Amino acid sequence: MQLNIVVYSKSACPQCDTVKSILKSKSLEFQEVKIDDEDQRKAFYEKCGPSVRSMPQVFFNDQRLGGVAGLQAALAQLKL
């Protein structure tokens, strides 16, 4: 199964670092998109939905998983 993984993150974010470390430990390639500008981040959150207000946001094949917990759940489901 081919996964297109995109991690939306910001600088100085421990949870963002955790997500990237998990993906690297699984040898999964990913694209990182840093959104450090607060206004750009708010616009990104609005596109994701009303419940999204934090970074990181992980997407597998354009489907939002959420942050660390969402990534861990998806990896367990995929047995990765």
Task: Kindly state the average pLDDT of the residues 3-8.
Answer: 96
Supply the pLDDT for residue 2.
83
Supply the pLDDT for residue 42.
93
Quick: pLDDT tens for 12-60.
999 999 999 999 999 999 999 999 999 999 999 999 988 899 999 999 9
CATH topology of domain 5-77: Glutaredoxin (3.40.30)
What mean pLDDT is reported for the chain?
A: 95
Supply the pLDDT for residue 25.
97
With beta carbons less than 8 A apart as the criterion, state whether 6 and 55 touch.
no
Sequence spans of domains, the chain: 5-77
* Side chain identity at residue 26, one-letter code: K
User: What does pTM read for this prediction?
Assistant: 0.94
Residues 44, 66, 22, 29, CA torsion sign: negative
Strand, coil or helix: 52: coil
Backbone angles phi, psi at 55, to 5 degrees: -110, 150
